[in-house]
Chains A and B, each alone.
Chain A
């Protein structure tokens, strides 16, 4: 038995009673499950905000300059982004695009995947009572929340929110004269991202230590569920890449408030006005630093999704995951290569072309582990007995959509091809297939799957099915045509495509995409209604409604404050369906169920 298992054994003596006061239970809670829910609910709020922004963006693209129906005029009194007649200003459009990206990445997807699922599941999956540093964990959330408040508040300030894209390239992002949103709006953006960075670093550290040190007796590395492996690799990204971004935001902040020139060359002239910066900085430097974090961030966005999909597919195909070790090696491979591909965002930036060739090769190679994972998921389905529950449909949708998003990435990796499709809707289609079609489906699947553990009730199955179906169809109607736009050269981030003759042919596509997006947006209300309705009125959940093997299903639903009455002993891998002492009624073999021989040492 491992050393950490011994260490952990003694922790059983230190069980604190569950706090009873509202503040200690729901607000300043150090319980990983409550913190996970705090992240989840905050992210839901931002999902609505970011989603609404997407619809406003789409409205402007389909009907440039037309007032936004119903909400346009009321918003115009609150936000700089809207004209008095309720239409989106050109600068407002840039602000919406910027904030949609920022909010969806930093305040929705990462908080749900890492903040919510990471917090809720890691201690349960390793068989621990909580994370290694519960106080630090609470602190992470309480750094995240002010970041969220700052970013949300920036929408309503004079001259509006940041408007230089979620990538915030200087000099546009650095100088207010270049864009109104690059004044206070950008300062708010930088402060928010800086705070978020700290939250993320603390979270990554916490999870890594938890996984390394707090595994239950018998929980060897090869018995961890793949979602926990995904969280491990994600934590490494958070720990090593986020500080780089945090430092960069401080430098850009200094450019704003202290007239430094970290990212500003000399002789900048905005309009007719010389800006008087001492110069000497380079705007390309920001791009390098930003993408050194933000490309790994893309994997932070997708690795946990891969982990969730693996868990769902193994559980509902009733089979061990095919090639567990290859799946782990793939994720570790993505983690390693993930640090070496940032330059593929910069093929046309003015970076030395030789570097373009190196980054093209590393980028092609990072497709390999993803490909291996896809084949392993397919092989897991092979010979299975698939149960088409809604979580499984979401898991399968993840695979189907991730294939498209992954394959379209190969076009961008090919540098000569990227010259044409760079900064077009091809890119928009690609990353939405990965992050929405892939990750968000995994998130939905994960929420449908673990909801019984979170709240002790089941979500309504019919509503869930309708939500999945509408989302799947509408998603593809929104994002598949964007490949076609991109192939036609349709630039992204332009507020009025009708100004270009060569884009006229895409006008009706833009209308089609917009109405599909409206359907997609409203479909999510079904999910939210189902989620919050089921929290209070859902059918009471059994302990293990999906007959899953991992540890969290061996404890009651909802999970008690200290997770496990007795810290479990682990005897096998997480996906040993249909083996061992399975009964005729169930092929479920929980990880903590002793073998007939009772050994805690074997891998399987």
Chain B
């Protein structure tokens, strides 16, 4: 049949189109690789294991798919060709049973240490971890941090809470104890390789240590006609174009970084009054990534000191990581987004001292009984996650 002659061409077309799919997907798409890892506790282990699996799997992929294509070509039916009559070969079959078996067991065994470290090696008191209690609900993350006495749970005396925004010091171990008051959620920080389900009626724990401070590296300034997130009107707005950069503590301290307007106030409302936003913009611009400057004035931090300046002169802008819920949790699941600020120890301590004055937010304090109550009633569930 004539169209059968087209077969090799068709197969090539199929393979080619598939491979070319990447380059046709637009300029801001990328061949994805894992996002940057900022978890110095075990993020690199996770990524290394990923790459190890990738090498093994990649080799098997090219071997098997290569053989498949080669055999299709070599043994295509032609007039006069007769298939070899053979039922099998014990040696061949033993080979491709025993070798993959060894590889698979090796792959499993090499994961054990990392898994144990991630899931069982929680920070001890001597590590001086920051302890965070997370209460998840539809569709918020409530974070409770201890005051100086470090007490939480029912003993907490002066703990304070934030909602959908978490502040952590850089280069310090963090232990999160988590519980949900309604359905199952999943605490996910992509850049830190952290993910753990959060359940009602049962406490789960996760730990990590973040060693990079996220900032926004400004590459240009533009005036655009944008819909204001606050007034809802289209108005000329200054926009800082740029990209995310991840600085070490030393680099962060050395650079001049623009901070949010209310930085010096240290008020409870700090999080909601950021001047720079990259969300809720005019829809056509939404997928672009930039900060909107709603006021020309900005506070800069440089070498541990604070000064005022012109926002458009910013070289770096203080930025955040994102926290997501990874388990389907209802109609607002997509919006269960939190932000994670990671800052040098002095900035964190100042922020914390300020927050302690305010204690628990009104929104979170109404859950307080529930929050404490859940912890006190979950003893038998807690086996294995002491």
Interface residues of A (CB under 8 A from B): 89-91, 94, 97, 163-165, 169, 171-172, 175, 178-180, 265-272, 279, 282-284, 317-320, 322-326, 348-350, 352-353, 356-357, 360-361, 364-365, 367-368, 371-372, 374-376, 378-379, 381-388, 396, 399-400, 403-404, 407-408, 410-411, 413-417, 419-420, 422-424, 461-462, 465, 469, 472-473, 476-477, 480-481, 483-489, 491, 493-502, 504-509, 511-512, 516, 577-579, 587, 604
Contact = CB atoms under 8 A, between A and B. Distances in A.
Interface in B169-203: 181-184, 186, 188, 190-191, 193-197, 199-202
Nearest to B113: A416
Select the residue from B14, B82, B105, B337 with max chain A CB neighbours within 10 A: B14
Given A361-B108, A376-B88, A505-B28, 18 more contacts: A94-B330, A94-B333, A267-B200, A268-B181, A269-B137, A284-B202, A322-B88, A323-B87, A326-B97, A360-B115, A372-B93, A384-B71, A416-B111, A419-B194, A477-B21, A484-B31, A493-B333, A504-B28
A58 to B, nearest CB: 14
B186 A498 contact: no
B254 interface: no
Given A422-B195, A499-B279, A271 B330 contact: no
Interface in B274-313: 278-279, 286-289
Contacts of B89: 322-323, 379
Contact of B22 (A89, A319, A323, A481): A481
Select the residue from A323, A461, A489 with max chain B CB neighbours within 10 A: A489
Top 10 nearest A-B pairs (CB, nearest first) are: A265-B201, A508-B26, A383-B84, A484-B32, A489-B190, A353-B119, A91-B331, A323-B88, A381-B71, A476-B18
A381 B261 CA distance: 69
B345 interface: no
Contacts of B374: 267
B82 A172 contact: no
15 contacts: A381-B68, A384-B75, A410-B57, A411-B53, A423-B186, A469-B14, A488-B34, A489-B188, A499-B279, A499-B335, A500-B322, A504-B287, A505-B30, A512-B25, A587-B83
A350 B197 contact: yes
B100 interface: yes
Given A326-B93, A356-B115, A484-B32, A493 B72 contact: no
Contacts of A480: 18, 21
B233 interface: no
Contacts of B7: 388
B332 interface: yes
Contact of B92 (A284, A356, A379, A489): A379
Nearest to B370: A269
Interface string B115-133: 1101110000000000000
B253 interface: no
B51 to A, nearest CB: 9
Contacts of B234: none
A348 B195 CA distance: 7
B247 interface: no
Interface of B: 1, 3-4, 7, 10, 13-14, 17-18, 21-22, 24-35, 42, 45-46, 49-50, 53-54, 56-57, 60-61, 64-65, 67-68, 71-72, 75-78, 81-89, 92-93, 96-97, 100-101, 104-105, 107-108, 111-112, 114-116, 118-120, 137-138, 181-184, 186, 188, 190-191, 193-197, 199-202, 204, 278-279, 286-289, 322, 324-335, 337, 366-367, 370, 373-374, 377, 381, 384-385
A512 B331 contact: no
B324 A396 contact: no
B118 A416 contact: yes
Given A284-B202, A396-B68, A319 B86 contact: yes
A91 B331 CA distance: 4
Given A350-B197, A381-B72, A364 B105 contact: yes
A494 B21 contact: no
B245 to A, nearest CB: 14
Contacts of B138: 178, 270-271
Given A411-B57, A508-B26, A416 B114 contact: yes
Nearest to B7: A388
Nearest to B117: A416
Nearest to B191: A502
A500 B96 CA distance: 45
A318 B81 CA distance: 11
A317 to B, nearest CB: 6
Given A352-B384, A473-B14, A420 B61 contact: no
Contacts of A578: 82-83, 85
A560 to B, nearest CB: 30
B329 A472 contact: no
A171 B197 CA distance: 13
A348 B197 contact: yes
B75 A383 contact: yes
B14 to A, nearest CB: 5
A340 B376 CA distance: 35
A270 B227 CA distance: 34
Contact of B34 (A282, A378, A487, A587): A487
Contacts of A348: 186, 195-197
B184 to A, nearest CB: 6
A275 to B, nearest CB: 8
Nearest to A494: B334
Nearest to A416: B114
Contact of A415 (B29, B84, B111, B367): B111
A172 B49 contact: no
A316 B366 CA distance: 69
A491 B86 CA distance: 48
B107 A477 contact: no
Given A267-B201, A577-B83, A385 B104 contact: no
B78 A268 contact: no
B337 A500 contact: yes
B198 to A, nearest CB: 8
Contact of A501 (B31, B278, B384): B278
A169 B184 contact: yes
Contact of A89 (B197, B331, B335): B331
A509 B68 contact: no
Given A364-B105, A413-B108, A165 B28 contact: no
B77 A318 contact: yes
A497 B373 CA distance: 35
Contacts of A324: 87-88
A323 B108 CA distance: 27
A382 B92 CA distance: 13
B377 A501 contact: no
Contacts of B92: 379
B141 to A, nearest CB: 14
B352 to A, nearest CB: 25
Nearest to A604: B87
A326 B184 contact: no
B281 to A, nearest CB: 10
B244 to A, nearest CB: 8
Nearest to B327: A423
A507 B28 contact: yes
Contacts of B53: 410-411, 414, 417
A403 B57 CA distance: 10
Contacts of A505: 28-30
Contacts of B184: 169, 171-172, 283
Given A164-B328, A356-B119, A372-B93, A512 B26 contact: yes
A229 B236 CA distance: 70
A177 B15 CA distance: 48
Nearest to B203: A350
Contacts of B46: 416-417, 419-420
Contacts of A317: 75, 83
A378 B195 contact: no
Contacts of B286: 498, 504
Given A270-B138, A481-B25, A473 B13 contact: yes
